[in-house]
Amino acid sequence: MPVIALTRATALSLLRNGFSRFLFILACFFMAGALLMLSFDIGVRYRLLENTLLASQCFLLHLFAWSFGFDVLKKNTAEKLYVLPFSTSLSARSWLLGRFSGAAILVVGMGLLFLLVDTVLFAALKIDIFSVLMLQVLLYVASACLSLAVIFFLSCFLDVLSALIYGVVLWIIGHGLDELLLLTDQQFEPAVQILVQCFYYLLPNFSFFDISSQALNRLPIETEKLVFILTYPLIYIVVLLDIGAAIFSRKPIGQ
Amino acid sequence: MAGVLRKRTGREFLSQANHLLYAALVISFFVYFAPSPLENSIEPVVSADYIGHERPLSGAFHTLLADHYWLLSARRLEQHPEQGTPVAKQNFFKEMKRILTLDPGFTPGLHYGATYLASIYRDVDLSHALVDVVLDYYPYWADLIIFKITQEISYRYPPRPALIDQWLKVLDDLSYPTPVRLNEALVYAREQQAAWQQKDLRWLLNNARTSAEKQIIQKRLHDLESDRPSR
Amino acid sequence: MDTSTLILLGHNGAGKSTLIRHFLGYYRRESDHPFLKTWRDIQPLDKQKLGFVPELPWLDAQLTGREQFQLMAGLKSCRISRDDMAHLTQRVGLDTGALDHPVSHYSKGMKQRLLIALALINEPMVLLLDEPLSGLDPFGHEQIMSLLLALKADKHLIISTHQLDDAWKLADQIWVLQNGVLVFQGPRPDSADALSQLYFRYPPHGADSVHRNASLC
């Protein structure tokens, strides 16, 4: 119950934030911008439109996640919003989970809104609604939520701005982990390979969520891979928030 | 004085380190995204399993970047000063490989690039190297083997102008100026198999849209028919 | 019910707010604050049975009063109806209509009342109030003071304050802190003047001149 109450309050607070409204307008602007690609044909009809839609939705969902994360965490510290809740028997885990869920639920909501926009647009243009394309939007949501969890985790031992910056950097690094592993396997010493393997398994691998090539080129996804990429963010988020809560619970409140 | 020379605390040190890191991040962003001119030098052709830096650094936007390069490649290659030379071939391979590394499922790019290399640049090994770029990724691997065989076949035959038409369609839709058609006509004119060349040039003549294009193709056709060496 | 009111007194930095945080169990280890080792005998309170009013209105300004109630009730794992909210707001003298406005529109006095109302959710036995009267205008001060006097009848109150007159009116027990040390524990003195003398007996270290001046008065 405390988690639900926190989730609701966090989501409401974020929705009323002026910056959220700006982001929503930005999203509309991006969607309209993507429609400009309607007339371009680069060998595959509507490919550029689909590609621009996917890329803009990916960017927007992550931008939403990062700005929501920053807003929630900054309020936590600047307005000391944790002081009153911790006067109840609230645990650090519930606090972190509630605040995270409040932001994540809005990201999920935006993702569903994007899916709706895509479906309506594709139906209007008589484009086949390809399941992998729709799945890609949902995976962007998962990726944004994982990135949000990373920022929440980092904020347990860093200041908010650093947590945000390192979170975004980890998102960028997380897209190149596969290539990094391949490169070190080919060109580096075994010691470096072991080090990179440690990074590979410890850092969040955001390239798992990227099936845009399959989505745009109408290629199938193997079931095993699908199960893995849907399970991976859930496990990673739970582990991150759990470790974050353990770190947070060791710190004094209201300093 | 003691105040001036006081020792930095760990927190201050970390804060300064943070600022340095932020600065490094901003600088690397601009260094990476600064536009670079097209390389004119012949670089050794890299193996198919070479990892380009664009793929990891473009993150989730690699397919969009692939489309960007696909559109850009038309202009970069058509305006290349050494059109039709080994340098142009290397650049063509690099461009196509970059596009396919960024979006391995982009079959129009694969088909176009591999066929162009085998058929027009007469290099079936490079054509196969391009197919190998997507080999680990593309789910229909049997298709790729058949596709490789078709490249072998197309290598044995003269270039087909119809191949270019697909690419021109892209350019037409983007309202690019299209001197490619003209340049490619000159490439064909270098071929010694006169019957095919005449057939191809006639096709190009029928499909030419500007009078300038028509004039040059007619001149080449005339040269060919009068059995004069063309260049 | 037999209730008592404990007033925490002491100079700025004496450790009043720190002691309240200690009561709330906000410190995880003794090393978290240098004062904690002097309070080894003082145990944190049972959070199930207490309500807390912080020094400043640390509330999410985007949420309405009603949403603050719902949040706090959720955090206390209890349900709260609209009638309960209306009852609590009336009890603290807040206009029920204000509940539908964001807290950012509230005055300092309204925020203070809302905080007290939030602390009263689930009828706690103990109320901890950290400087509840600071920064209020005389009207607001009077209203909060009468509210505290009313609450004193059926709750245990622990209040930190600098305002000696109010402290004397409210107190049953007095604790005085000086640089983190609990230097006085006892019943309320007979008069406000006596309380004042008691207070000025424990200045911050290095502030003896203040002590002397106060004695002259």
Residues of A in contact with C50 (CB under 8 A): 87
User: Amino acid identity, residue C26?
Assistant: Y
Q: What's the pLDDT band for A9 if we cut at 50, 70, 90?
A: very high
Window from A174-188, B167-181, C56-70, C183-197 with minimum mean pLDDT? B167-181
pLDDT at A110: 92
Q: What is the mean pLDDT of residues C83-92?
A: 86
Chain A contact for B70 (CB, 8 A cutoff): yes
Interface residue A250 vs chain C (CB under 8 A): yes
pLDDT of residue C212: 41
Give me the domain span that covers residue B181.
164-231
Which tens digits make up the pLDDT trace of C1-12?
577 888 888 888
Report which of residues A21 and B166 the model is more confident about: A21
State how far residue A108 is from chain C, nearest Cα, in angstroms: 21
CB–CB of C59/C115 below 8 Å?
A: yes
CB contact under 8 A, A212 and B63: yes
Which residues in chain A have their CB less than 8 angstroms from residue B63's CB?
51, 54-55, 212-213, 216
Residue B8 lies in a domain: no
Q: Does some domain include residue B30?
A: no
For chains A and C, having 3+ Cβ pairs within 8 Å is answered yes
Please state, as a whole number, how many other Cβ atoms lie within 10 Å of the Cβ of residue B90.
20
pLDDT at residue B80 in the model: 53
Question: What average pLDDT is seen over chain B?
Answer: 65
Q: Sorting pLDDT into bands at 50, 70 and 90, what band is B170?
A: very low
Note whether C50 contacts A: Cβ–Cβ < 8 A: yes
Cβ atoms of A114 and A61 closer than 8 Å = yes
Nearest to A5 among C21, C32, C75 (CB): C75
Tell me which chain B residue has its CA closest to the CA of residue A210. Answer: B60
Instruction: State whether B149 and B67 are in the same domain.
Output: yes
Higher per-residue pLDDT: C125 or A255: C125
My answer on whether B123 and B178 are in the same domain is no
- B113 to chain A, any CB pair closer than 8 A? The answer is no
Domain boundary among B142, B157, B172: B157
Is residue B50 a part of any domain in this protein? no
Question: pLDDT digits over A53-74, tens only?
Answer: 899 999 999 999 999 999 999 9
Q: Which residues in A lie closer than 8 A to residue C32 (C-beta atoms)? A: 252
Q: What is the pLDDT of residues A92-106, one digit of tens each?
A: 899 999 999 999 999
Co-location of B60 and B152 in the same domain: yes
pLDDT tens track for A106-118: 999 999 999 999 8
Half-sphere exposure of B177 (CA within 13 A, CB side): 7
Phi and psi for A254 in degrees, rounded to 5?
Answer: 80, 20
pLDDT (0 to 100) of residue B177: 38
List chain B residues with CB under 8 Å of A176.
Answer: 55-57, 59
- pLDDT band at B30, cuts 50/70/90? low
What is the chain C residue with the closest CA to A253? C26
Chosen CATH of C5-59+124-216 out of 3.30.70.20, 3.50.50.60, 3.40.50.880, 3.40.50.300: 3.40.50.300
A33 near B CB under 8 A: no
Note whether B97 and B113 are same-domain residues.
yes
d(CA A203, CA C19): 41
Q: Is residue B209 part of a domain?
A: yes
CA distance, residue A43 to nearest chain B CA (Å): 6
| Residue from the list A43, A143, A212 with its beta carbon closest to the beta carbon of B108 | A43
Q: Do B108 and A58 touch (CB under 8 A)?
A: no
Cβ separation of A182 and B51 shorter than 8 Å? Answer: yes
Residue B17, domain member (yes or no): no
Bridge partners (DSSP) listed for residue C160: C8, C130
Query: Minimal Cα distance from A55: which residue of B?
Result: B61
CB neighbours (10 Å) of residue A99?
26
What's the rounded Cα separation, in Å, for the pair B96 and B121?
13
pLDDT at B163 exceeding the cut of 60:
no
Q: Where are the domains of chain C?
A: 5-59+124-216
What are A14-23's contacts with CB under 8 Å, separation 24+? A14/A68, A14/A71, A14/A72, A14/A102, A14/A103, A14/A106, A15/A106, A16/C62, A16/C63, A16/C102, A17/A71, A17/C62, A19/A67, A19/A71, A20/A67, A20/A68, A20/A106, A23/A60, A23/A63, A23/A64, A23/A67
- Judge whether C57 and C103 are in contact, CB under 8 Å: yes
The pLDDT score that the predictor gives to residue B122 is 75
Q: Which alpha helices (DSSP H) does C171-216 contain, by range?
A: 192-200, 208-216
Examine the pLDDT at B42 and tell me if it is beyond 50. Answer: no
Contacts of C108 (CB under 8 A, 6+ apart): C57, C135, C136, C140
The pLDDT score that the predictor gives to residue A146 is 95
Averaged pLDDT for residues A204-230: 86
* B72, pLDDT greater than 70: yes
What average pLDDT does this structure show over B16-38? 62
From chain C residues 117-146, the ones with a CB under 8 A of any chain A CB are: 118, 128
The average pLDDT across B23-28 equals 70
The residue of chain A nearest to residue B108, with distances taken between CA atoms, is A43
- Give yes or no for B57 touching A (CB within 8 A): yes
Which chain C residues are Cβ-neighbours of A85 within 8 angstroms? 71, 75
Do B174 and A220 count as a contact with CB atoms less than 8 A apart?
no
Do C and B make contact via 3 or more CB pairs under 8 A? The reply is: no
> Which residues of A fall within a CB distance of 8 Å from C72?
84, 88
C115 contact residues in A (CB cutoff 8 A):
84
- Whether residues B128 and B92 share a domain: the answer is yes
Average pLDDT estimate for A231-251:
90
Question: Is residue A235 a contact partner of residue A77, using CB atoms and an 8 Å limit?
Answer: no
- Confirm or reject contact between A21 and chain C (CB < 8 A): no
pLDDT (0 to 100) of residue A82: 85
Which of C 157-186 lie inside 8 A of A, CB atoms?
Answer: none
What's the pLDDT band for A182 if we cut at 50, 70, 90? confident
Q: Which residues are paired to A225 by β-bridges?
A: none
Question: Quick one: B216 and B172 in the same domain?
Answer: yes
| pLDDT at residue A64, as a whole number | 92
Q: What is the largest distance, in Å, between two alpha-carbon atoms of chain C? A: 56
Domain co-membership, B182 together with B203? yes
Alpha helices in C131-191 (DSSP H): 138-151, 164-170
**B135 pLDDT more than 70:** yes
Q: Is B83 within a domain?
A: yes
What whole-number distance in Å separates Cα of residue A57 and Cα of residue A114?
7
Query: Nearest-CA distance from A103 to chain C in Å?
Result: 15
pLDDT (tens digit, 9 = 90+) per residue, A117-167? Answer: 988 988 888 877 778 888 899 999 999 999 999 999 999 888 888 899 999
B128 or B82: which leads in pLDDT: B128
Q: Where are the beta strands (DSSP E) in chain C?
A: 5-10, 50-53, 126-130, 156-160, 173-178, 181-187
The mean pLDDT of chain C is 82
Is residue B107 located within the same domain as residue B169? no
Cross-chain Cβ contact B25/A54 below 8 Å:
no
Query: Are B96 and B107 spatial neighbours (Cβ–Cβ below 8 Å)?
Result: no
Confidence of residue B39 (pLDDT cuts 50, 70, 90): very low
Last residue of a domain, one of B109, B130, B157: B157
- Please give the C-alpha separations between residue C177 and each of A170, C18, C19, C31, C161, in angstroms, as whole numbers: 48, 11, 9, 20, 12
DSSP state letter for A8? H
Flag whether pLDDT at B184 surpasses 70: no
pLDDT at B2: 40
Predicted pLDDT at B44: 43
Report d(CA C22, CA A254) in Å as an integer. Answer: 11
Both B124 and B192 in one domain: the answer is no
Terminal Cα distance for chain A, rounded: 27
Query: Which chain C residues contact residue A90 at CB under 8 A?
Result: 75
* Residue with token string 């070479």: B50
pLDDT at A226 over 90: no
Mean pLDDT on C21-29: 83
B182 or A83, higher pLDDT: A83
Q: What is the pLDDT of residues A194-207, one digit of tens each?
A: 888 888 888 998 88
Q: Number of folded domains in chain B?
A: 2
For residues C133-161, give the mean pLDDT. Answer: 84
A81 touches chain C (CB under 8 A): yes
CA B133 to CA B126: how far, in whole Å? 11
SS3 C67: helix
Residue C95 amino acid letter: D
pLDDT band with cut points at 50, 70 and 90 for residue B183: very low
8 Å CB contact of A251 and C28: yes
C162 in Cβ contact with C134 (< 8 Å): yes
In a domain, residue B197? The reply is yes
> What per-residue confidence (pLDDT) applies to B182?
42
Neighbour count for residue A211 (Cβ, 10 Å): 20
Q: Does the pLDDT of residue C135 top 90, yes or no?
A: no
